[in-house]
Amino acid sequence: MQGFRKIVLGVSALLISLSARADYAWNFPEPVTPMALDTLHVHNKFMLISMAIFFVVLAIMIYSIFAHRKSKNFKPVADKAPSTATEIFWTLIPFVILLLIDFVIMGIPAYHSVVMMEDTRNEAKMVIKITGSQWRWQYEYLDGDAKGIKFVSNLSTPKVQTDKGYEGVKDEQYLLEVDNRLVLPVGEKVRILMTATDVLHNWWVPQFGSSRVAVPGFIRETWVQVDKAGTYRGQCKELCGKGHGYMPIVVDAVPMEEYKAWAVAKNAEMAKAAAGSDKEWTKDELVAEGKVVYEKNCAVCHQASGAGLPPAFPALTGSKITTSPIFGADGKYLKDGHLDRVLNGVRVMPAWKALLNDTEIAAVITYERNGLGNSVGDVLQPSQVKAARQ
Ligand SMILES: [Cu+2]
């Protein structure tokens, strides 16, 4: 009896300490898509089933140990072993029970969930393409009101905050904020096509319940339908290199009206940027704009100072490519020259032609040649980049 009282006391102490921590976030984040809700239900069902099995097995064990203890002079049965038939019978019974639980009680909801995740047919109203690159996401709207909108989404936590030894205040959304958010309409089924340009990435927003590995050279698909307006955050979930922790995802789910207004504004912004490539820029304008582009896109590898991280990431300060002429005598850009390198990339150096517009490429190149400790003195105009693309 003494022992029993101790167990009761112990269990109550445990329960009290659990309830004292009830405000601590034990559960999954609130699901906001049908898929997230479904998988959460599957999880909860499985937890209950596993717990039931656990307690049944534990109860039988405790009973056997207690009822057959030595102090009760219980005689072991080792000398009268059961028949083979009995052995098989008592092995088959739990086997059948577990089989039923696995294939029926757990199998059906799990199957339902998996089929749901794969089902990108039917009522998907719009399609977006998500491309993972070291270390940023690119979003492209393929149809509907936002057709043609395409942008890159970069981490926007200030660089100093991630520096070693930084002791100042960190942003509330430290490492979970981006410059360009993905905007989706609430309640709309969105089909997502996913790929990557270099290595595996994984677009994962916990509250959406969907995550899919983005594989270079393959288009994979999934879908989301965000049923509640709000801002949702996620991260790349595939170990993808040095900057893996620096490619967050931020999604704004907004009502349809707001979404349409956003699409109009974003289209206008893109048209304005395209117009920028026809005007003549001054060197100072390009250098100033180029510094912003550089710090957002290039500094992770080549460092803010341009010193790089040799031997993996070459220095741009004093580099041969960065300080040699861009164009040959025939007016075409030189193969393996500065513009070629930035537009088309090579090995680990990404190709930027699909990620940056003409102005951004002209600006960043002008900045590299006249900043970062270089002083080549020339200027690359956006119109020249535009011409070079053709
Ligand atoms: Cu990644």
Q: What is the pLDDT of residues 98-126, one digit of tens each?
A: 899 888 888 888 898 888 888 877 677 89
How many angstroms is it from 221 CA to the middle of ligand 1? 17
How many angstroms is it from 222 CA to the middle of ligand 1? 17
Task: Provide the whole-model pTM.
Answer: 0.73
What is the average per-residue pLDDT within 347-362? 89
Could you tell me the two tokens for 150? 């395409």
How many angstroms is it from 338 CA to the middle of ligand 1? 27
How many angstroms is it from 314 CA to the middle of ligand 1? 22
Residue predicted with more confidence, 390 or 229: 229
95-104, Cβ contacts within 8 angstroms, sequence gap of 24 or more:
98/53, 101/49, 101/53
Give the Cα separation of 37 and 181 in Å (integer): 24
Place of tokens 């690359």: 380
How many angstroms is it from 152 CA to the middle of ligand 1? 14
Residue 132 has pLDDT above 90, yes or no: yes
CB 223 within 8 A of CB 190: yes
What is the average per-residue pLDDT within 253-274? 91
How many angstroms is it from 36 CA to the middle of ligand 1? 22
How many angstroms is it from 344 CA to the middle of ligand 1? 21
Give the Cα separation of 256 and 389 in Å (integer): 36
**Tell me, what's the pLDDT at 75?**
77
How many angstroms is it from 293 CA to the middle of ligand 1? 20
Name the residue among 205, 208, 192 with its Cα closest to residue 37: 208
Provide the pairing of β-strand 190-196 with 126-133. Answer: parallel
Q: Which residues contact 372 (CB under 8 A, 6 or more apart)?
A: 294, 305, 306, 316, 317, 322
| pLDDT level of residue 3 (50, 70, 90 thresholds) | low
- DSSP letter, residue 331: S
Lowest mean per-residue pLDDT among 132-141, 202-211, 242-251, 271-280: 271-280
Q: Which CATH architecture has domain 126-158+174-271?
A: Sandwich (2.60)
How many angstroms is it from 196 CA to the middle of ligand 1? 9
How many angstroms is it from 55 CA to the middle of ligand 1? 41
| pLDDT level of residue 16 (50, 70, 90 thresholds) | low
DSSP bridge partners of 132? 137, 196
How many angstroms is it from 139 CA to the middle of ligand 1? 14
Name the residue among 178, 311, 182, 301 with its Cα closest to residue 243: 301
Residue 22 has pLDDT above 70, yes or no: no
What is the average per-residue pLDDT within 332-345? 93
Residue 95 has pLDDT above 80, yes or no: yes
Please tell me the total number of residues recorded for the chain in this structure: 390
376: left (phi over 0), alpha (psi -120 to 50) or beta: alpha
Share of the chain above pLDDT 70, in %: 94
How many angstroms is it from 91 CA to the middle of ligand 1? 47
Residue predicted with more confidence, 254 or 77: 254
**Tell me, what's the pLDDT at 163?**
83
CB 296 within 8 A of CB 352: no
Report the alpha-carbon angle 37-40-46, nearest 5. Answer: 145
How many angstroms is it from 154 CA to the middle of ligand 1? 12
Pick the CATH number of 277-389 from 1.10.760.10, 3.30.310.10, 1.10.1060.10, 3.40.50.1100: 1.10.760.10
DSSP bridge partners of 153? 137
40-49, Cβ contacts within 8 angstroms, sequence gap of 24 or more:
40/209, 41/109, 42/109, 42/110, 42/112, 42/113, 45/105, 45/106, 45/109, 46/106, 49/101, 49/105, 49/106
How many angstroms is it from 135 CA to the middle of ligand 1? 6
- Give the distance, in angstroms, between the CA of residue 197 and the centroid of all CA atoms in the same chain: 15
